[in-house]
Structure 1
Amino acid sequence: MPIRLPWHTIDTVLLDMDGTLIDLHFDSHLWQTLVPERYAVRHALPLDEARRRIEQHYGAVAGTLNWYCVDYWSETLGLDIRALSRELREKIRWRANVIPFLAALKRAGKRRILFTNAHPASLEVKVAELGLDAHLDAMVSSHQLGWAKESPQSWQALSQREPFDPARTLFIDDSERILAASAEFGVAHQLGIARPDSQQPPLRFARFAALNDYADLLPLAG
């Protein structure tokens, strides 16, 4: 179903990466399947026990930079997360119609800024695989700012690094909590992603409209 936005009032589009531009299936498989399997082998544990311990680690740092930090997890779990990511490179894929959407934004003169919680090492793997940087005007990892996107300080730091007018900005992300953080900062327009992982059921958003396919935003009109 087409989604109409007031494009004449939007100058900047902030875009999450994992689950928003890229199918989240890569990250889901890495963190929910491959990491527990390798952790179980490394520590001689049954897989169920390995999953339980990892979930405890995940829960302890959820919403913080460490939750997204490749180096933190490599040290905490005793695994080479960079190497595991490279093993799964073939699972790194664009979401449907992302490139036509980004091209339409460029033609319309909108600034396209990637704003991700992904660690620079994760970003590097995805740039190498998909050439993300060729389709964007700027890329910012929250690790460069010192706060996760859930934090108001992160939004203030982003506005200083890549100046934008929140009142004339659209933010697209698959996390309702992070969309809410952007709204609290003053970003005027938000869109969620209905199915960030193509292999999982859709999400439900309580406060924000959710996008099924970037084709629903094309052509840019309004």
Structure 2
Amino acid sequence: MVTLDWSRIDTVLLDMDGTLLDLHYDNHFWLEHLPQRYAEVNGISLVEAQTLVMQKTDALRGTLDWYCLRYWSEALKLDVPAIYREIEDRIALRPHTDNFLRSLRQMNKRALLVTNAHPDGLMHKLEVTGIDQWLDEIISSHDLGHAKESVLFWHSLQERQPFDPERTLFVDDNLHVLGAAREYGIANLLCIRQPDSRSPSREISEFPAIHDFDEILGAR
């Protein structure tokens, strides 16, 4: 059980994919749908395409290019943003996300979306889900020039949207990102155990972890 003292939290920083939204959409896109389109265009098997795409993406994991749809459009010679929209029916909120965001507003907490998502994909997901209505600010790492895995992102975020690290809660599903936030000094960190609803729940020991947001709303 994770217990938060909400009286000591002013700002809530929230990741998007795997935290507010089900990571199944992105996993399916990168592991299945995009390789399928690449295979069709290049006349190779799906397995060959999956191997090639995985090799290219793994080489850049944790960098801004890894998250950049325009970079992958150039690298793969495909209209990646257009292909991204072909499976938009898979975009979905994680359990209790809407209630959690409404509760933050009711508690007068400042809620900021801080995401590595490329602006093209980010805007698409906001159009589909409407979660931006509950957020005070939306910040993409592409606007700051550093991925969240770098402590430089957090320094840049502080300059753009000042916050008190001691009175901030940050929720993410990425352990490397949470590590950078801890290095920067954010006091309250939470990890999501099951970012992809169709994958098993993870055992998380490095950070306090929850399955769903309803686990922390009871501590208001």
Once the two structures are TM-superposed, the CA of residue 53 in structure 1 deviates from its matched residue by 1.0
Q: Which residue of 1 aligns with 2:215?
A: 216
Q: Which residue of 2 aligns with 1:122?
A: 121
**Contact conserved, 1:14 with 1:171, CA < 8 A, in 2?**
yes
Is there any run of 5+ residues in structure 2 with no aligned partner, and where? none
Tell me, what secondary structure is at the counterpart of 1:88?
Answer: helix
CA distance in 2, matches of 1:152, 1:180: 9
Once the two structures are TM-superposed, the CA of residue 14 in structure 1 deviates from its matched residue by 0.3
CA distance in 1, matches of 2:201, 2:83: 27
Normalising by structure 2, we get a TM-score of: 0.97
Matched, 1:197 2:196: yes
Normalising by structure 1, we get a TM-score of: 0.96
Once the two structures are TM-superposed, the CA of residue 116 in structure 1 deviates from its matched residue by 0.2
Is there any run of 5+ residues in structure 1 with no aligned partner, and where? none
**Contact conserved, 1:17 with 1:115, CA < 8 A, in 2?**
yes
Aligned length: 220
Once the two structures are TM-superposed, the CA of residue 197 in structure 1 deviates from its matched residue by 0.4
Once the two structures are TM-superposed, the CA of residue 219 in structure 1 deviates from its matched residue by 3.0
**Contact conserved, 1:171 with 1:187, CA < 8 A, in 2?**
yes
Query: Which whole-Å deviations, capped at 9, do the CAs of 1:103-153 have from their partners, x for residues lacking one?
Result: 111111110000000000010110110112101111000000000000111
Q: Structure 1: which 4+ aligned runs deviate by more than 3 Å?
A: none
Tell me, what secondary structure is at the counterpart of 2:22?
Answer: coil
RMSD: 1.0
- Paired-residue identity, %: 46
Tell me, what secondary structure is at the counterpart of 1:126?
Answer: helix
CA distance in 2, matches of 1:120, 1:42: 26
CA distance in 1, matches of 2:81, 2:131: 19
Matched, 1:26 2:25: yes
Once the two structures are TM-superposed, the CA of residue 3 in structure 1 deviates from its matched residue by 2.6
Q: After alignment, is 86-95 or 141-150 more displaced?
A: 86-95
